[in-house]
Amino acid sequence: MCGIVAAAAQRDVAPLLIAGLKSLEYRGYDSSGLAVLEAGRIERVRAKGKVREMEALYLARPLPGGTGIAHTRWATHGVPSEANAHPHIAGKVAIVHNGIIENYAELREALIARGHQFHSETDTEVVAALIGEQVDQGRRLREAVMATVKQLDGAYAIAVISEDEPGHVVGARYGAPLLVGIGIGEHFLGSDAQALIKFTRQMMYLEEGDVVEISREK
């Protein structure tokens, strides 16, 4: 189980997300990545190895945008690789996930039967696909996350963004930690206080089964 940082802010969030991931490096990980939402489009950068390797790709092609999610991965399902690194994208949504989805194989089979194509070996991509499917059907992201987590067995902390909802990040947790960081005109999610302490000292621990939506204002 590794690290999550997410933000909804007035300023570009990618540098904040990278700084947050660097504070989580002490936990160990095999790959990292981030996704930013700008002008209704999700852009992503991922790399195997150290956060600075992902950062080098980002610096070569900076991703502006005030809404984003980021992750350091400790592989449980699928080898450490760029394709298995988070965020995972399905339709209009991108997701980062800490933990293990125990029933991912049956969920994956059902999604394949409905025509979904997978691009990684992770359990996480199943969660992306379920949320993406519902957003495609017109559900709000928060509702799609609430309906999806009901189908999951296992442990998760997740952060999700949707091209339909710039300025918003939805998180959920069960069996893995997730905190909200409360800033001025900006809000954060993190798997660990270390990830957020550079941005705010005001934090709120989520409880088991909580779903949370953050925006710049609230």
Of residues 117 and 137, the one with the C-beta less far from ligand GLU: 117
Task: Considering only the stretches 40-48, 57-65, 98-106, 193-201, report the one whose residues sit in contact with ligand GLU under the rule CB under 6 A.
Answer: 98-106
Phi, psi of 5 (to 5 degrees): -140, 140
Contact call for residues 171 and 211 (beta carbons, < 8 A): yes
> Would you say 38 and 63 are in contact if contact means Cβ atoms under 8 Å apart?
yes
Number of residues that bind ligand GLU (CB under 6 A): 16
Residue 83 binding ligand GLU, by CB under 6 A: no
Report, in Å, the least distance between residue 78 CB and ligand GLU: 6
Residue 27 is given by DSSP the state G
Q: Which single residue is written with the structure tokens 């993190």?
A: 190
Q: Taking contact as CB under 6 A, which single stretch among the options 13-21, 41-49, 74-82, 138-146 is the one that binds ligand GLU?
A: 74-82
What phi and psi, each to the nearest 5 degrees, are found at residue 32?
A: -150, 165
* Residue 44 interacting with ligand GLU (CB under 6 A): no
Q: Which stretch binds ligand GLU (CB under 6 A): 116-124, 137-145, 159-167, 193-201?
A: 116-124
Residue with tokens 């949320």: 131
Q: How far apart are CA 216 and CA 29, in angstroms?
A: 29
Site residues for ligand GLU per CB under 6 A: 1-2, 73-78, 84, 97-100, 122-124
